């Protein structure tokens, strides 16, 4: 019985603080609609339950070792390709390996720091709200960019990108802040994308189509000389 209770508590992930106003609004709307027509209350209650699920903030176990780059978000590895970082990152105009992670409305949307280091700079850019699964979303969509630097001077770029439904990016970082891999730093509401720009020499450990777990999945290694790992659907 005690084991069952413990498993049940572990299955109930905490709620991110940014979600409570939305959860309250969804429930209030359900009550109001219920006065108009009772079946609407139950539909509103289902919507409230989904809102609770969306803002869940589960505990994660982060692999800790110099050089490891963990995923900044839950979702599907949509693309791994060479691309020029956004100008706001200040990482130059040479192409870097970019790992793009697409989050659907059922993924955990709390974002996490990929490496130990410090925040060099950050900037917000207004833009469009096209489908985040499209490649042009990296260039055209509204985004928050964060430049991180490791202790040995390597710089990485993390870009939170708003999607077709997502209209609010939350980032709690400040310039000069010291951060650790796996720490929470923000979220994107209701479907989105996160791009990660790696420094030269990083070995990528994931493949396109693979599912990533924020704060846990190792995306790359900054000190490994291992070649790219191919992926197979099995």
Q: Which residues are annotated as catalytic? A: 192
DSSP conformation letters of 120-163: EEEEEE--B---TTSTTHHHHB-EEEEEEE-TTS-EEEEEEEE-
Rg (CA), the chain: 19
CA distance 117 to 149: 5
CA distance 15 to 146: 25
What tokens does 77 get?
Answer: 């590895």
Tell me the CA distances in angstroms from 187 to 11, 136, 149, 154, one per residue in order.
21, 21, 21, 25
Contact between 103 and 193 under an 8 Å Cβ cutoff? The reply is: yes
Question: 145-163: string of b/e by CB count within 10 Å (b at 16+)?
Answer: bbbbbbeeebbbbbbbbbb
Paired with 48 in beta bridges are none
CA distance 194 to 216: 15
CA distance 148 to 121: 7
């Amino acid at each position: 019985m005690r084991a069952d209770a413990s498993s049940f508590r572990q299955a109930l992930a905490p709620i991110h603080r940014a979600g409570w106003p939305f959860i309250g609004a969804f429930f209030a709307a359900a009550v109001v609609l219920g006065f108009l027509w009772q079946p609407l209350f139950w539909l509103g209650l289902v919507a409230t339950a989904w809102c609770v699920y969306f803002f869940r903030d589960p505990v994660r176990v982060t692999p800790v070792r110099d050089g490891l780059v963990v995923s900044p978000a839950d979702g599907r590895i949509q693309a791994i390709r060479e691309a020029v970082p956004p100008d706001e990152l200040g990482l130059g105009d040479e192409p870097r390996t970019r790992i793009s992670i697409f989050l659907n409305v059922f993924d955990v949307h709390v974002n996490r720091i990929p490496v130990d280091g410090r925040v060099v700079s950050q900037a917000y850019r207004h833009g469009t709200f096209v489908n985040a699964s499209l490649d042009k979303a990296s260039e055209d969509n509204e985004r928050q960019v964060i430049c991180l630097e490791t202790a040995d001077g390597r710089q990485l770029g993390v870009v939170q990108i708003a999607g077709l439904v997502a209209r609010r990016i939350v980032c709690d970082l400040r310039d000069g802040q010291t951060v650790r891999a796996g720490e929470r730093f923000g979220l994107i509401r209701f479907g989105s994308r996160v791009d990660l720009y790696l420094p030269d020499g990083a070995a990528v450990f994931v493949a396109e189509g693979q599912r990533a777990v924020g704060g846990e999945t190792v995306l790359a290694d900054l000190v490994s000389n291992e070649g790219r790992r191919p992926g197979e659907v099995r």
